[in-house]
Amino acid sequence: MALQPVFQETIAAVATATGAAGVGIVRISGPDAFTVADRLTSGKRAAANQPTHTLRRVTICDPNTQEPLDDALLAVFHGPRSLTGENVVEIQGHGGMVTLQRVLSACLAGGARAARPGEFTERAFRNGKMDLAQAEAVAALVSSQTVAAQRAALRQVSGELSDAVNEAAVVLQEALALIEASIDFPEEIGDADPVQVDAPLAHAETMVRSLLSTAGYGRRLQEGLTIVLAGRPNVGKSSLLNALSGTQRAIVTPIPGTTRDIVEEALNLQGLPVRALDTAGIRDTFDPVEQIGVARAREAMRSADVVVAVLDAADGTLTAEDVLLLESLAPQPHVVAVNKSDAADPAELIESATAVTPDAAIVPVSATTQEGLSLLSEAIVRTVTGNAAGAGSDAPLVTSARHEAALRAALDALLAARATLAEGLPLEMIAVDVHGTLQSLGEITGAATREEIIAGIFARFCLGK
């Protein structure tokens, strides 16, 4: 099939992570992808004549000096049946920074231009291979930190969220058709029946609300959360952190770029990537300068998404220090872990803690026997995500702040449309709000997204994606 290229330039980039890996891939996409590949492979066969979706073993050479650079497999994809919708060649050679950079330089010498971050995915979007929500999910998939996050991202790549959004849009179009027919042909059609118009609006509202209900959990899947364990020395904060990390260890190592001088673990609580900080560690590290340690502990607590106040069941009752801690936590999300419940009956302590902080979840646990740990992690997740649907749910998850904002705007416009209808105001006014709802939904899939927002989304991708 003859292609009508949207982009004139052919781009190339290293698509695999740099490092001493077994395999490394340089990707070329664009109208001249095959010509560029031919300039690097002195073989008899032109890439254009290689059947699509096949591999061929080649020697990659510098197009100027003919020096061999790598022994590789050439994967050829004829557009539009390719990632970007364009002709694509992937040079699958050896990993390693030097080899990959030399092969990439050869591609540039052969006529390609270095791709910008996200440019392959952007071309896939512009060429209609995927919509904006799917393209964003590609970035989320690459950076996902837990199995649950990865699963959600993969489902979004496959278009589940887009399908749900488009379904709501189709329902709204129904309402709009009724309204507009009655506006355009008042004589023939007469006034639209408000009940008939409201039915699809109500249906769309349910759909939008159901998507929004997953956002509390979904966004945390991508963004993760930080918890801080606080409490007096010896209540068992470090033991609890160890127990949590033993039973719920994340696949990842601690998130890069975080401060190293506090004791920190990467956990996976109900699928959410969690950074857990032990304030005891702050104190220990800074023992000679206790002041700084305490200040850091306070700062960590203030910026945490949830503070886990740890009490010692063996104490039997709250100490003055415990009361101060619980009172200081009142304005922020927190849960109370009554630790060492194996050693002493926690009932009395739970009762007195409830009196100080009646709204917080209070969970008896034992770092030693590990009893209560999953209830504690549930309580932590519930505290930060509210009663959000999400964990283990089959519905598409809303995982991005941008999508959540668009859905909220859609809901506002939809509620306005329904209120206008209920008040018996002119149909034109309802139509404006329904159009507004559709506009907001279109922002998710890219059907109605401003150019600078689209550009910003792709600029955040990594190079080679």
Tell me, by CB under 6 A, how many residues bind ligand GDP: 16
Choose, by CB under 6 A, the member of 340, 382, 403, 465 that binds ligand GDP.
Answer: 340
Interaction between residue 342 and ligand GDP (CB under 6 A): yes
8-state DSSP, 2: -
Task: Please choose, from the candidates 450, 435, 358, the residue with its C-alpha nearest in 3D space to the C-alpha of residue 402.
Answer: 450
370: left (phi over 0), alpha (psi -120 to 50) or beta: left
Residues in the chain: 465
Choose, by CB under 6 A, the member of 85, 236, 364, 442 that binds ligand GDP.
Answer: 236
Interaction between residue 50 and ligand GDP (CB under 6 A): no
Q: What is the DSSP code string of 121-172?
A: HHHHHHTTSS-HHHHHHHHHHHH--SHHHHHHHHHHHTTHHHHHHHHHHHHH
For ligand GDP, which is the closer residue by CB, 93 or 231?
231
Interaction between residue 128 and ligand GDP (CB under 6 A): no
For ligand GDP, which is the closer residue by CB, 155 or 283?
283
Q: Which residue is nearest to ligand GDP (CB)?
A: 236
Task: Pick the stretch among 1-9, 168-176, 234-242, 403-411 that binds ligand GDP (CB under 6 A).
Answer: 234-242
Task: Please choose, from the candidates 160, 168, 93, 91, the residue with its C-alpha nearest in 3D space to the C-alpha of residue 131.
Answer: 160
Largest CA-CA distance found in the chain, in angstroms, rounded: 87
User: Is residue 230 within 8 Å of residue 307, measured between CB atoms?
Assistant: yes
Interaction between residue 465 and ligand GDP (CB under 6 A): no
Choose, by CB under 6 A, the member of 235, 307, 325, 376 that binds ligand GDP.
Answer: 235
Token pair of 121, please? 């995915």
Interaction between residue 246 and ligand GDP (CB under 6 A): no
Q: What's the min distance (Å) between Cβ of 329 and ligand GDP? A: 16
Site for ligand GDP in 355-414 (CB under 6 A): 366-368
First and final C-alpha spacing in the chain: 26
Q: What's the min distance (Å) between Cβ of 259 and ligand GDP? A: 19
Interaction between residue 279 and ligand GDP (CB under 6 A): no
**Residues 79-91 as b or e (16 or more Cβ within 10 Å = b):** beebbbbbbbbbb
Q: What's the min distance (Å) between Cβ of 232 and ligand GDP? A: 7
Interaction between residue 319 and ligand GDP (CB under 6 A): no
Binding residues for ligand GDP, rule: CB under 6 A, are 231, 233-239, 280, 339-340, 342-343, 366-368
